[in-house]
Structure 1
Amino acid sequence: MREPQQDRSRATRRRLLEACVECLAAMGWSATTVAVVAEHAGVSRGAAQHHFPTREDLITAALEHMFDERIESARAELAAPRVVVTTEMVVSRLVEHFTGTLFKAALQVWTAAAADEALRERVVPLEQKFGRVAHRMAIEALGVTDEDETVHRLVQATLDLARGLGLADVLTDDSARRGEVVKAWAAHLDAVLRARRNVAIM
């Protein structure tokens, strides 16, 4: 039996979104056109433009789709049975998010948006959403409350650190130094969070 049209449409859309992120990360903003992404996804240009009339529609949808998938995957991993969630594990997952293909693709879009006001107006709200969701996921994974101002700032500092490590990894493999930084920061963060929990109990 042929798969229903709706299922084929969803599959086509997904291939385009995934191919778009891969093209951005590998080839950059200028080279990532609808035609190039369509070819990479094995989809006709007409079908691609049916789903995404403009390159900006395709790219912003791709970033949002992949971000949502990464967040859900991380949440599922941290919530899996018999998984002991440590502070270092949470920090490592956040850093991995900022050193992967999605971050490299997003970096291309941020750079283009800096000089394109119309694109910036689309990207800034998306980036703000990404920041809020990542912050909330970190709070949940660490088992702390965001009502504590110190905890809030530390989690934000962790996200800023992860982003900085991601930037350091763009041109050269920075994994060895990154691993040491993650261990050191995670140990500091864990000590402070333990102290804050003890204060809250008293």
Structure 2
Amino acid sequence: MRQPQQDRSRATRQRLLESAIEALAELGWAGSTVAVVAERAGVSRGAAQHHFPTREDLFAAAVDYVTNVRTDWIREHSADLPSGRERTRAVVDLVVRMYTGQIFRAALHLWVAATSDEQLRDLVVPLEAHVGREAHKLAVELLGVDETAPGVRETVQATLDMARGLGLANLLTDDSKRRAGIIDRWAEILDTTLHARA
């Protein structure tokens, strides 16, 4: 039985988005052309441009799509998080994993390219603002804190900023051993700080 056109179109779009992230993470901005992404996705360049008229549209949509998939995955697995002080450590670890994987690597290539490409920057800045808000909201929710309490919002934001820094440190070499110790220590500090604020 033939797959309906709408389903095929949706599947093509998803393959293009996933291939764009893989290409960007592996090849960087310069090597990630529409032709390369289309080939990886198994579609023609014309089909890719039907879904995404410009290269910038393709990569902005790809980062947004995969970030949302990752956020949904974390939400789904939040039910498995432990309670008490162990929870803080598990949440910090989840947040750090958001910034040490392929998605962050791809987004970073996009950020660097956007610094010298005004058209791309116009797409990336609001996208990253959205991603930042969603990550912050997710961290607040998983930590179970009231961000209207003085200092809590800044403390949660510091956690996200630290996670980005750990993601940067992990780009060139495997930083997992050092990172584990930092996550442990930051979770202790975060737990103490948030309970003091509460």
TM-score range, shorter chain: over 0.9
Q: For residues 102-148 of structure 1, what are the alpha-carbon distances to aligned partners after superposition, in whole Å with 9 as ceiling and x for unaligned? A: 00000001001111122111111111111111000000000011111
8 A contact 2:150–2:197 mirrored in 1: no
Shift of 1:149: 2.9
Task: Spell out the pairing of 1:121-160 with structure 2 (5 A cutoff).
Answer: 121-160=122-161
Amino acid at match of 1:70: R
Q: CA deviation at 1:84?
A: 1.9
With the length of structure 2 as denominator, give the TM-score of the two structures: 0.96
**Gapped regions of structure 2 (runs ≥ 5):** none
Root-mean-square deviation over aligned CA pairs: 1.0
Whole-angstrom CA distance in 1 between matches of 2:127 and 2:7 = 27
Q: Which residue of 2 aligns with 1:114?
A: 115
CA distance in 1, matches of 2:155, 2:187: 11
Give 1:108's aligned amino acid.
H
8 Å contact kept, 2:92–2:183: yes
- Which moved further from structure 2: 153-162 or 143-152? 143-152
Per the alignment, residue 6 of structure 1 pairs with 6
Letter in 2 for 1:164: G
Q: Tell me if structure 1 keeps the 8 A contact 2:22–2:106.
A: yes
Alpha-carbon distance, 1:60 to partner: 0.4
Tell me, yes or no, if structure 1 residue 171 matches structure 2 residue 172: yes
What are the Cα deviations for residues 52-82 of structure 1, in whole angstroms up to 9, with x where unaligned? 11100100000000011111110110035xx
Summarize the alignment of residues 23-172 of structure 1 with structure 2, pairs less than 5 Å apart.
23-80=23-80, 83-85=81-83, 86-172=87-173
Paired with 1:118 and 1:54, the residues of 2 have a C-alpha distance of 10
Show structure 1 runs of 5+ residues with no match.
198-202
SS across alignment from 2:65: helix
Identity between Structure 1 and Structure 2 (%): 56
Q: Distance in 1 between matches of 2:176 and 2:42?
A: 33
Distance 1:118 1:49 in 2: 17
Q: Which amino acid aligns with 1:50?
A: H
Give the TM-score normalised by structure 1.
0.94
Q: Distance in 2 between matches of 1:79 and 1:146?
A: 21
Moved over 6 A (4+): none
